[in-house]
Structure 1
Amino acid sequence: MQMSDTRQIAATPAQVYAALLDPEMLKACVPGATEVAGSPEEGFVATVVQKVGPVKATFKGEVTISDLVPDTSLKIDGAGKGGAAGFAKGGADVRLAAVDGGCELSYDVEAKVGGKLAQLGSRIIDGFAKKMADQFFNNLQSALEGPADAVEDEAAQTEEPAKKGWFGRTKS
């Protein structure tokens, strides 16, 4: 399974790069992560609890980071075993570029699964992998930018909500 995406993050490439190498930030951003320890030089060990379709498992794995080009790019490779549920392994090429208003983060991911997970079918696995990647990058973006739409939410609370539907129009 392969996927690619691009995101705009309101932070400098240096801030995004540093966040991707910080075990505490990774623990906060990886959905289901209960433990992340290590360093970029020696690699990370992680424990992640996830439910994929009807299969719930605790994955223990290792993540290595290579091809580091400070504030520009890095390659992440990982593999985890979930006991009877099977295994997952994959990698991501992450690229960072300075743009107006922050950083453009682009990634290409390739992942493989085996065991009971592979029996779920590619549609479930592909959907789950996309959801995990989206959640990770949403969490990373929120951690770097602060809560999303906080200013807009505050402004929306001071305005009277628009009336919706035909019933709202009849009360005017």
Structure 2
Amino acid sequence: MELSNQQALPVSQAIAWDALNDTSLLQQSIPGCEAINPIGENEYEVLMTAAIGPVKAKFKGKLKLSDITPPESYTMAFEGQGGAAGHGKGTATVRLEATGPDDTLLHYAVTASVGGKIAQVGSRLVDMAAQKIAGDFFGNFTAVLQARHPRAVPAGVELAPAPTSAWARFMAWLKRVFG
């Protein structure tokens, strides 16, 4: 399986780099992640639950970072065992590109292989599950970054309070559309 994409992050490159190396923030962001524990220099043990098609299992794995170039990039090697469900291993490259003082573009490329029951569900389901996990991770990761590092509102700009109920949001939309 190969997966590559990019994700806009609403923070500086330095903040993005720190976040990518913050195990508690990553644990919050990775769907199904139960633990990320250091076991050596730039090495971690990870425990997570994942579902790939009809196969759901708890995986125990290891991550090792290499080719570390702060605050720009690193390579991650990973492997995990899910008991009877199977196993997976691969590498990922992560590169950060500053696109503004408070904006960063994260580029990633993943190459992975799976075996066991996971491989039997078919490469299409494995690819779809990987894309969903990546999408969920970046949604969570970006939300945590925005909560920890809210953007400053320019002077003179007033923000309307967010409506709290679906009905209030609908009424606000009607007001905007129909005046």
Which SS does the other structure have where 2:97 is aligned? strand
Q: Distance in 2 between the 1:111 and 1:26 partners?
A: 20
Partner of 1:46: 46
Q: Is 1:120–2:128 an aligned residue pair?
A: no
Q: Distance in 2 between the 1:54 and 1:20 partners?
A: 30
Offset at 1:158? Answer: 8.7
- More off after superposition, 127-136 vs 113-122: 127-136
TM-score by length of 2: 0.81
TM-score by length of 1: 0.85
Per-residue deviation, residues 16-42 of structure 1 (Å, max 9, x unmatched): 111111111121111101111117824
Shift of the 22–160 alpha-carbon distance from structure 1 to 2, 3 Å rule, reads: closer
- More off after superposition, 7-16 vs 112-121: 7-16
Partner of 2:147: 146
Partner of 2:137: 136
Q: Is 1:157–2:169 an aligned residue pair?
A: yes
- Contact 2:17–2:71 (CA<8 Å) still a contact in 1? yes
Offset at 1:61? Answer: 0.3
Partner of 1:170: none
Shift of the 102–40 alpha-carbon distance from structure 1 to 2, 3 Å rule, reads: farther
Offset at 1:47? Answer: 0.5
Shift of the 97–153 alpha-carbon distance from structure 1 to 2, 3 Å rule, reads: farther
Partner of 1:5: 5
Q: Distance in 1 between the 2:160 and 2:32 partners?
A: 29
Equivalent residue letter for 1:160: A
Shift of the 161–78 alpha-carbon distance from structure 1 to 2, 3 Å rule, reads: same
* Root mean square deviation of aligned Cα: 2.4
- Contact 2:44–2:63 (CA<8 Å) still a contact in 1? yes
Percent of aligned pairs with the same amino acid: 36
Q: Distance in 2 between the 1:43 and 1:19 partners?
A: 17
| Residue-pair matches, total | 161
- More off after superposition, 7-16 vs 77-86: 7-16
Per-residue deviation, residues 94-116 of structure 1 (Å, max 9, x unmatched): 11011124111111111110000
The 4+ residue runs of structure 1 with deviation greater than 4 A are none
Q: Distance in 2 between the 1:30 and 1:117 partners?
A: 19
Q: Distance in 2 between the 1:53 and 1:15 partners?
A: 35
Q: Distance in 2 between the 1:40 and 1:12 partners?
A: 28
- Contact 2:42–2:66 (CA<8 Å) still a contact in 1? no
Per-residue deviation, residues 110-161 of structure 1 (Å, max 9, x unmatched): 111000000000110010011111111221111111299xx78816839533
